[in-house]
Amino acid sequence: MDEKEAAKRIEQLRDEIRKHDRLYYEEAAPVISDRDYDRLYKELVDLESQFPDLVTPDSPTQRVGGKPLKAFGQVSHLVPMLSLDNTYSEQEVKNFYDRMQRLLPDEKIPVVIEPKVDGVAVSLIYDHGKLRQ
């Protein structure tokens, strides 16, 4: 792929990703799976890596998140809600665990692995068995 073709594909990817960001973050109406979105995003990242002169400040790769839905108020979490990078294979999970073991060689690290439901993250706070937040 030459630079002209890359520029055209990059612009197509940016437009498509922006559309999906708007549908997901602002309208709560996604039309593609997280996995399909991740593939589009990765293709854009790869092309911008191959053609760094085509990276622009308004590229989806240069920003963090989208606008939050107005229906939700802002909340400070007691403990940050963090997540891992996307993993799609057993080998990627094993690689992550191996990195943890190298960082903490003297620790036994128990792990629980659960599938992620697309687009769901919940932090609940209970006071004496009653949901507070």
Determine contact, residues 43/37, Cβ cutoff 8 Å. Answer: no
Q: Dump strand ranges (E) for the chain.
A: 126-127, 130-131
Q: Where are the domains of the chain?
A: 3-131
The pTM score is 0.56
Count of other CB atoms within 10 angstroms of residue 14 = 18
Torsion sign across C-alpha atoms 80, 81, 86, 91: positive
Would you name the residues annotated as active-site residues? 116
For domain 3-131, the CATH superfamily is: Helix hairpin bin (1.10.287.610)
**Residue 19's pLDDT is what?**
96
Distances (CA, A) of 104 to 99, 108, 112: 9, 8, 17
Instruction: Render pLDDT for 69-124 as a digit per residue (tens, 0 to 9).
Output: 677 777 788 877 766 677 778 888 888 888 888 988 998 888 877 776 666 677 88
> Among all chains, which residue has been given the structure tokens 């996307």?
86
